[in-house]
Structure 1
Amino acid sequence: MYLVHARLRAPTGQRIPSRAAEFVTRQAREADRLEHVSVHESGDDWVLGLFFTAETLAEAEGNAVRLCGRALEADGPLRGWVLLGSGAALIDAPWDPWAGSGPGPTGGGRLMPLPDLSTRKPFPPL
């Protein structure tokens, strides 16, 4: 699953409509592979968090641009809004405990130590 952020700006600095996520979801086509939409404020702009079950990041980012285009052109609450940009929400490895090089609680990006199979106890004590 990929998270793509789409940054939107209202034509008059207004707040995003309360049902914006639902409206964007309704604009999705099956081929978009949209799973979920979240909305949050970011300064003067608004950000749609678009979660896609696409095969690749490039596919997810392309789907986001096309979906936002449909949502902004459709007769609805986002008509007249502007898509400022979109892209994957990337997490830098030092802050991502699942990344192979991230620190993580046990080093190496792992959240817990590997089991010691020689003890025949697959799970380490907590």
Structure 2
Amino acid sequence: MHLIHVRLHTPRDIRVPEDLAAQFIAQATSAEGVEHVSVHPGVGQVLTVGLYVVAESLLMAEQAALAVSRRTVERVPALHRSRITSCSAAIVGAYFDRLLERPGGDGRTMRLPDEDTAES
């Protein structure tokens, strides 16, 4: 499962519907793999939507999230004057923290070359 953040620039007078997460899910097809949506109003005219997408790759998850978001902006009247400003995977800090906790503690996932020998 991939967490994709979609950021919207919204009109000043927007009233974010209480059921906006459900409206995003309603716009998704079963093939797009959207499992959960969270909506986070931000400072100013920014609205961040988190889409949890089951997909074979990060690229496929981002494409699905963008397609669902475009349909939602087009079809949900409250979002008609909004525009999508970004769509990208979220960095999951806990994953990277676990990498740092592994033996060696430097977060590297592959061995560094041995500069004292011809091996690399």
Q: Could you state the TM-score of these two structures normalised by the residue count of structure 2?
A: 0.75
Match of 2:60 in 1: 59
Gaps spanning 5+ residues in structure 1: where? 110-126
Q: Identity of paired residues, percent?
A: 33
- Bigger relative contact order (CA 8 A; separation at least 6): 2
Is the contact made by 2:73 and 2:79 (CA closer than 8 Å) also made in structure 1? yes
Is the contact made by 1:7 and 1:46 (CA closer than 8 Å) also made in structure 2? yes
The alignment partner of 1:5 has SS state of strand
Inter-partner Cα distance in structure 2 for 1:75 and 1:16: 11
Match of 1:73 in 2: 74
Is the contact made by 2:15 and 2:78 (CA closer than 8 Å) also made in structure 1? no
Match of 2:42 in 1: 42
Inter-partner Cα distance in structure 2 for 1:70 and 1:24: 8
**Cα deviation digits, residues 7-49 of structure 1 (max 9, x gap):** 0122235342211101111000011100000011222201000
Gaps spanning 5+ residues in structure 2: where? 108-120
Q: Residues 15, 103 of structure 1: CA spacing in aligned structure 2 closer, same or farther, 3 A cutoff?
A: farther
Number of equivalent positions = 105
